[in-house]
Amino acid sequence: MKTKFTLLAILFLGLGFGFAQNEEAMTKLSIFHEYVKAKNYDAAYEPWMEVRTKWPKFNNAIPVDGEKILKHKIKNATGAEKVAFIKDLLKLWDEKLENFPSKTKIGDLLSDKAQLMYDYKTELGLTDEDVYNAFDKAYTTDLKTFKNAKSLYTYFSLMVDLYDAGKKTDQELFDKYDDVVDKIETEVKSSSEGLNKLIAKEDAGTALTKKEGQYKRYYESSLKAFDQISGSVDSKLGDRANCDNLIPLYQKDYEENKNDGVWLQRAMNKLYEKGCKEDPMFVKVVKQKNSIEPNAKTSYYLYLITGEQQYFDQTLQLETDPFRKAKLYNTIGRDFKQKGSYGKAREYFMKALAQNPSDKKPYEQIARMYAASANSCGDTNFNKRAVFWLAAAEARKAGSSSLAANYEAKAPSKSEIFSAGKAGQTISIGCWIGRSVTVPNL
């Protein structure tokens, strides 16, 4: 028995589990943990419940494995039994916070609780307000570890639903939108910076370690998740934040907030994003923000308002953070694209890529500009359609296989390549594109 006990101690120390003198507890814990590893959750339930009940503070494996066990039970139960397991999982998370506070990320745990409450809102008899308040507790208690993209979207979605039900004001809705957008940007910035370091290492010809490879996959997964919810958050907000709603709100609150840099920043950003930059209120907010707290954004907005080159130059000088500079270059690129200045737009999209290589969206913008110019940048019908190969190549860099396939379908077919006798030839594309493309070999 002594040998068995020693082996168990080594096993759980190796797994990062604590060691205790209670051999019975260790033995029971070993039993349920082995069942969990084998995904035999039903067999794990009884010994796990025994350890949880008798020795609740014994080991962090109790809540870690218990979460997997109860999620299995919830998935496979119905009726009152299902509800009982849902409530028990909520209770387990409370026990984890009480018994293992040093091993618990509070924002992460509370957002998991809120998400479970949302997923089973009907079964638990909860209102939207109940669930929103649970998410809000996670957000306000420990924002740093509230990192789940799905939960962040659910949190905002509930705010919109409560607004539509007349239970939240315009200001509360727009403030929460800004809060969520700021949180998304924080997480994207953090993952982008981590991923960019690994990309630079690979570009330098150094292979990533196994741990670095895991981090790379994590950063890529995080960026994908937050990119997806970023669009969903904007879609959920919809036209609730339009010029007709925003301008009277900001006019009403301006005097009270005119010396609040955060309020002014958010107001001018929202007015710009929603296409209200021609309104005098936008000009008023920008000038006030510039007078008390100038930054790259205020300089750029002043450039849009006045057209004066000094503000454009100042914009590029003031922004030094690579992530924010990339965002600024993307904004400038989109503005040039909207004006039809595709050459200048590409220049700034490429600058954005240089500052933040992990963000591939500028490639899609370039692809769309190439596709839009196909008819005007080629001298023959074949060469005009050859532009779509360039567009497809940029779309692939952006990771958009569907867009790339769409452009490939618009390029010359194999039979057209054969008829033209151009297989393998290099075609120079004129006008602003100024690139060449190689015709595929047959």
Cα separation values, 434 from 378, 394, 428, Å: 11, 15, 7
Q: Is position 206 within any domain?
A: no
What's the pLDDT score for residue 8? Answer: 47
What's the pLDDT score for residue 442? Answer: 79
- On whether the CB atoms of residues 337 and 369 are closer than 8 A, the answer is yes
Q: Is position 195 within any domain?
A: no
What's the pLDDT score for residue 5? Answer: 43
Chain centroid to CA 87: how far?
30
Q: Is position 303 within any domain?
A: no
Distance separating alpha carbons of residues 338 and 353, to the nearest angstrom: 19
- What is the end-to-end Cα distance of the chain in Å, rounded? 72
What's the pLDDT score for residue 330? Answer: 95
Q: Of the candidates 51, 78, 104, which is a domain's last residue?
A: 104
- Extract the tokens encoding 177: 């939108």
Q: Of the candidates 104, 127, 160, which is a domain's last residue?
A: 104
Q: Of the candidates 58, 78, 104, which is a domain's last residue?
A: 104
Closest to 254 measured CA to CA, from 169, 181, 182, 171: 171
Q: Is position 314 within any domain?
A: no
Q: Residue holding tokens 């479970």?
A: 116
Q: Is position 316 within any domain?
A: no
Domains in the chain, number: 2
Sign of the torsion formed by the C-alpha atoms of 8, 10, 15 and 21: positive
Domain of 68 in residue numbering reads as: 1-104
What's the pLDDT score for residue 16? Answer: 41
Distance separating alpha carbons of residues 160 and 174, to the nearest angstrom: 10
Q: Is position 156 within any domain?
A: no
Collect the ranges in the chain with pLDDT lower than 50. Answer: 1-21
Q: Is position 392 within any domain?
A: yes
Q: Is position 186 within any domain?
A: no
Count of other CB atoms within 10 angstroms of residue 251: 14
